[in-house]
Amino acid sequence: MTTVALTKDNFEATITGNDIVLVDFWASWCGPCRAFAPTFEAASEKHPDIVFAKVDTEAEQEIAAAFNIRSIPTLMLFREKVILFAEAGALPPPALEQVITQARSIDMDAVRKEIAEQGAQPDQTGPAA
């Protein structure tokens, strides 16, 4: 499967409309980004059930800012709209495969429950009532 170019027009629909989306934040001038591209492309061929997407941080500065991208390449894996992995730096093929394998094995019901519980807890950083 070829990679999808994400823009502000299709980002939300891509993330919400697919089970697993692996996003590569990159720029054309970035040497490590260009070096990582074949690894990312090869993984996309190996995993046709996952959407492999790229965000050109130069063209899509709003998206990069929204996700606080400070260095590139940065990989971010979404599963069922939840970010399960976010890390700067190019991964070697075995490490990328490990990220994918771990993402597939996570119990998303447990993740959603944990998120809900965290949201229900009172703010611990504010002044005591």
Active-site residue set: 30, 33
Residue 70 CB partners (closer than 8 Å, separation 6+): 88
The three-state secondary structure class of 27 is coil
Cβ–Cβ under 8 Å, residues 27 and 57: yes
Residue written as token pair 């697993």: 20
CA within 13 Å, CB half, 40: 28
DSSP code per residue over 72-93:
SSEEEEEETTEEEEEEESPPPH
The three-state secondary structure class of 117 is helix
